[in-house]
Amino acid sequence: MLAIRRSATRALGRAPVSIVATSHIPHAVTCRVHRIQTVRHNSSGPDATSKRAAISYDVNLQNEEQAVSSQTDVTATHILEASLKHVPQHGWTVQALGAGASDLGYPSVLHGLFPRGGVDLIDYFLKKSKREMKAEMEKLDLESMKITAKIRTACITRLKLTGPYISRWPEALALMGQPQNVPMSLGNLGELVDDMWYLAGDRSVDMNWYSKRTLLAGVYTSTELYMTQDRSPDFEETWKFLDRRLQDVAFIGRTASEVTNYLQFGVRSAFGILSSFGHKTPFNR
C-alpha cells in the first residue's frame, strides 16, 4: 500500500512532463495530451496572464488538492498584499512577509508559505503592477494616441507604481539579478513589454516583434535604474530621461532601416559594375 501511494505521489509530482515524455505511449495519445493542453491554454483567452498571476504561488496545485489549495492561495495573496505595506520598512524580506501575516492575525511564521521569501514578494509586486498598468491604460482613449505616446504613457504609468518602493527598489534589482531568480525577472520583464506593445496596438508577427520588445525592454530597465537615483520632485528627471531613450530608439530603428537601404544600394551597384565588365552576378543571370 505504501509502495503504491509513494509511486502515485511521484507520478503526480511530474504528471504533465512524464506523460508526454514516456516513449512507449502511442503517438496518438501523446498528440492528444498536447492538444488538450493547447486548447486549455487558448480557452483562457487574452486575459490569461492576469489569471495566471493570481495563482502562480504554486501552493501545491495538483489534481484533487486544487480545490483545497485555492483557499490557501487566497490567504497567500492576502498576505502578499498586506506585506507590501511593510516593504519600505523591512525591504523585500521574510520580515516584511511575516509582518504582513501578523497584520492579518496570523503568526508571523506563516511567511513559510513563500519558500523563496522576498523573491516571491517581488514576483507578486511585478505581476500586480503589470495588471494595474494594463487596467489604467485601458481607461485611456488609446485610439486617438500615437504609438510613441502610448508607449511613453505605459512606461510612466508602470514606473509610477514602483514609486512608493523606490528606496527599496535597488535591493529588489539585486535579488532579481541573482542567477536563480533571473528566469523570474526576465519572464516578468518580457510579459510587461509585451503587454505595453499590445496596448500600443502592435500586432506584428515578423522579426519586428522581437526587436520592438528588446528595444523597449532596454528603455524600460534603464529608465527604472535611473529612477532609483532620481531625487527630483515627482520623478520629473526620470520622465525626461525616458523621452531621451525613446528618441534614441526611434533613431536606432530609423538608422537600422537606412543602413540596410545603403547596404542594398551599395551591393547592387557593385554587382552592376561587375556585370558591365561581363561577370555573371545574381542580378543578371
Interface positions with other proteins (CB under 8 A): 2-3, 5-6, 9-10, 13, 58-60, 68-69, 71-72, 75, 94-95, 98-99, 101-102, 105-115, 117
Question: How near is the Cβ of 216 to other proteins at its closest, in Å?
Answer: 34
Q: Grid coordinates in use for 157?
A: 504609468
Closer Cβ to other proteins, 69 or 148, answer by number: 69
Helix, strand, coil in percent for the chain, rounding step 5: 80, 0, 20
Least Cα distance to 157 among 195, 183, 210 occurs for 195
Q: CA torsion 10→12→18→23, rounded to 10°?
A: 90
Other beta carbons within 10 Å of 135? 11
Least Cα distance to 198 among 11, 50, 4, 14 occurs for 50
In whole angstroms, what separates CA 127 from the centre of its chain? 8
Closer Cβ to other proteins, 10 or 34, answer by number: 10
Question: How near is the Cβ of 164 to other proteins at its closest, in Å?
Answer: 24
Question: How near is the Cβ of 214 to other proteins at its closest, in Å?
Answer: 33
Q: How far is CA 131 from CA 126, 170, 190, 272, in A?
A: 9, 22, 14, 55
3 state DSSP class of 24: coil
Question: How near is the Cβ of 64 to other proteins at its closest, in Å?
Answer: 11
Closer Cβ to other proteins, 98 or 224, answer by number: 98
Closer Cβ to other proteins, 66 or 284, answer by number: 66
Question: How near is the Cβ of 191 to other proteins at its closest, in Å?
Answer: 23
3 state DSSP class of 203: coil
Question: How near is the Cβ of 249 to other proteins at its closest, in Å?
Answer: 41
Question: How near is the Cβ of 112 to other proteins at its closest, in Å?
Answer: 5
Closer Cβ to other proteins, 53 or 117, answer by number: 117
Closer Cβ to other proteins, 72 or 222, answer by number: 72
Q: Are the C-beta atoms of residues 243 and 237 closer than 8 Å to each other?
A: no
Please state, in angstroms and rounded to a whole number, the distance separating the CA atoms of residues 17 and 36.
Answer: 14
Closer Cβ to other proteins, 103 or 248, answer by number: 103
